[in-house]
Amino acid sequence: MALETPTWLNLSFMEKTLRKSENDNLIEVIDIFSKPATNKGDNYVSDMFRVIVEYSRDQSGRKITEKKSVVVKIEPTLEGVRKNLVVQSRVFNTEMLMMMDTLNKMNKLLEPKYRLSGKGMYVQRDNPNLLVIEDLAPLGFRMASRQAGLDLPHCILAIRGLARFHATSVAVCEKEPNQKQMYSRGMFNSEHPPEMSGFFIQSVKHLAEEMANWPELKKYSEKVAKLTDRIYQIGIEASKFSEDDFNVINHGDCWVNNIMFKYNDDGKPIDHIFVDFQLCVYTSPAVDLLYFLSTSPSPDVFENNKDILFNEYLSTLSATMKQLDCKTQPPAKEELKASMKRRAVYGMIASFTALPLVLVDKNEVKDLDEILSKDGYTNPGYKNETYKEIMKKRVPMYDEWGLLDV
């Protein structure tokens, strides 16, 4: 079903938005054109519209006409599992805080050379909750192919960006320690509604059932099935904040769909930017690193280039923290490796639950209401051949590490 443009998303709404974000009360909106901003499966927890606005403004005593493209991101209003999950988990509030406060401060530390995100232009906190943000498409940013996985040049750009994201968050938290408390929920939290844990529980149950039919992995299916009811609690433990760790504000949902790239004329990636900040959480950067590495690189990069990416991350993190005069010391290589090893089960959970969403065929994509329907969990991604091939390699590895016995 195509997403209907809400009636309130009209000329006067866009006029109010532009006047506020541009700090110019003489702006007059002439016309708007809106359409859904994402395809099914690109965004699971909000409704998004791309709005092209034609407007006039006063410049040195004469009227000029301009055009601007923005994205309006709306908390779900249609009743269902998805709405319950998003509203009760307050993930939309997290994104509002990030876009209108924390990211502005983080971006200022890197400008003009780098940007971590688009600009938050306007926020509405009720009826419905929404964000108006700069559209990154006219700036040349677009999504990479989620099914193919990111090759090494894409991964290096993304991991350097992640290191800058983490480093600037340390600098902001040093100046404003209350920022740490603002991001305490993330993806795994006992305060989230049952729909959140339900997604992970149903995913792992589904995987165990599928694995029982895969000759190479059949012997592991019982172990995976036993993890089902505890999987969300295991995620809570694996992502928990610890005073003894080096900590940052994590993106929290750092996978291929939430990373956009810019390309040169030869089609090579030259820049990147993050989107979707609903699951940001203050804890060890191991959380973002494990999630990204388990969901986003191509199988070749995952198997052969993890050390390159780890070293790129650490050198960019250290250099950026030094440049920003952070008082906190960046973690030593051994320290970060140890944190990733302690939390390794987080990467396994991402492989079990998020990776099937990444690899699902475009024609088979389902939204959250369909995935978690009362008729039982369905995600065609588990039957995907690429997913099976990846899991044939990863599940024995997880078992060897003792992760199937946690």
- Structural contact between residues 103 and 277, judged by C-beta atoms closer than 8 angstroms: yes
Per-chain mean pLDDT for the chain: 91
With respect to residue 117, please indicate whether it lies within any of the assigned structural domains: no
Range of the domain at 210: 150-405
With respect to residue 155, please indicate whether it lies within any of the assigned structural domains: yes
361 against 168, higher pLDDT: 168
41, pLDDT greater than 70? no
Give the residue-averaged pLDDT of 54-76: 93
383, pLDDT greater than 60? yes
- How far apart (Å, rounded) are the C-alpha atoms in residues 69 and 37? 11
Cα dihedral across residues 41, 198, 149, 158: positive or negative? positive
With respect to residue 56, please indicate whether it lies within any of the assigned structural domains: no
79 against 36, higher pLDDT: 36
**Region of poorest pLDDT, from 2-11, 91-100, 260-269, 323-332:** 2-11
- pLDDT tens for 103-135 read 999 999 999 999 999 999 999 988 888 999 999
| The pLDDT value given to residue 1 | 46
Question: In whole angstroms, how far apart are CA 234 and each of 209, 217, 389, 405?
Answer: 20, 22, 25, 11
Pairing type for strands 248-250 and 141-143 reads unpaired
| The pLDDT value given to residue 78 | 74
With respect to residue 86, please indicate whether it lies within any of the assigned structural domains: no
Q: How many domains does the chain have?
A: 1
Share of the chain above pLDDT 70, in %: 92
Give the residue-averaged pLDDT of 292-307: 96
Give the residue-averaged pLDDT of 189-209: 91
Burial pattern 77-88, b for ≥16 Cβ within 10 A else e, equals: eeeebbbbbbbe
249, pLDDT greater than 80? yes
**Region of poorest pLDDT, from 66-70, 83-87, 357-361, 383-387:** 83-87
Q: Where are the beta strands (DSSP E) in 8-128?
A: 28-36, 47-59, 62-74, 120-125
With respect to residue 142, please indicate whether it lies within any of the assigned structural domains: no
- Structural contact between residues 12 and 53, judged by C-beta atoms closer than 8 angstroms: no
With respect to residue 129, please indicate whether it lies within any of the assigned structural domains: no
**Which residues on adjacent β-strands are paired with residue 52?**
33, 69
| The pLDDT value given to residue 374 | 57
Cα dihedral across residues 185, 190, 192, 196: positive or negative? positive
With respect to residue 77, please indicate whether it lies within any of the assigned structural domains: no
Confidence of residue 372 (pLDDT cuts 50, 70, 90): low
222, pLDDT greater than 50? yes
235, pLDDT greater than 70? yes
- Structural contact between residues 259 and 271, judged by C-beta atoms closer than 8 angstroms: no
376 against 78, higher pLDDT: 78
CATH number at residue 264: 3.90.1200
With respect to residue 195, please indicate whether it lies within any of the assigned structural domains: yes
Query: What number of other Cβ atoms are within 10 A of residue 190's Cβ?
Result: 9
What stretches of 90-187 show up as alpha helix (H) in DSSP?
91-97, 103-110, 152-175, 178-182
127 against 272, higher pLDDT: 272
